[in-house]
Each structure stands twice: as structure tokens, then as C-alpha cells.
Amino acid sequence: MAAQPDLWGEIAPAALRTPLAVLREQAALLGRKTNNLVEATVSTGVYRGGFLHRFNLVVPALDGYTYELFAVTNGIELYPVSLAYGNLSFQSEEKFLDWLRQELSSPKTKRIIANLLAQATS
């Protein structure tokens, strides 16, 4: 019997950072900024043939209290990334990073984190 030929060719990961990688990078930074009083996690699931990523704030000192800051979706093509609960869509990593920068440093997000920090240290 003849050897089976490999018809797949070379397979390599995409050159882009995935939306999940971007979110995990940012989540890892929050704990350092708050002495791990408020941390961030990203949970991922399957959603309509693509992926749903929930960005959560977690307070270990409050029995793991969790607040979902936002959720985004993306398909197998990685981009666009869309808000799960809204009509915004980001066509590239650059556009997604611009939005994420605004969201994470917004007065609303800072107020939420400050309130969680206050409760964690009470």
C-alpha cells in the first residue's frame, strides 16, 4: 500500500493577535495596578458560530464578586470584533485597541474600579 500524501501543506497561526489575546493581556495588567484587590478575567464561550468574550472585574476579598464590564464577539476570521450588547463593530486590531483603550480608561470604568477597591479594603 502506498504512503498517504500530506495534502494539508504548511499550517501556521494567524499573524494577528487574537481579540482574546488582547483582552487577556489587559486583564493581566489590572491586578498589578490594584495590588490584586481588583482583578480582571476573560471568559470565552462559543456564540453563533464564533466566540463570545466576557471581560469581568473580580474582587477576591468579596467572595470573588464578579462584575461584567463588557462582552465582545468575533468570528473565525478574528476581525471584525463586535460588542455583544450593542451595535459597535471594529474592523481591525487597531480599531479594537482604540475602543478598548477608551473603555478601560473611561471615567465610568475608573469609578467602578474605585468603588470595588473601596469595598475590598473596608
pLDDT digits (tens, 9 = 90+) for 31-58: 999 999 999 999 999 998 999 999 999 9
When divided into structural domains, the chain yields a total of 1
Structural domain boundaries, residue 102: 19-120
Give the Cα separation of 116 and 5 in Å (integer).
58
**In percent, how much of the chain has pLDDT > 70?**
99
User: Does residue 101 surpass a pLDDT of 90?
Assistant: yes
For 18-31, the pLDDT digits (tens) are 999 999 999 999 99
User: Does residue 117 surpass a pLDDT of 80?
Assistant: yes
So what's the pLDDT on residue 67? 98
- Estimate the crossing angle of helix 93-104 against helix 19-33, to 10 degrees: 30
Question: Does residue 66 sit within a domain?
Answer: yes
| Claim: this prediction has a pTM higher than 0.75 | yes
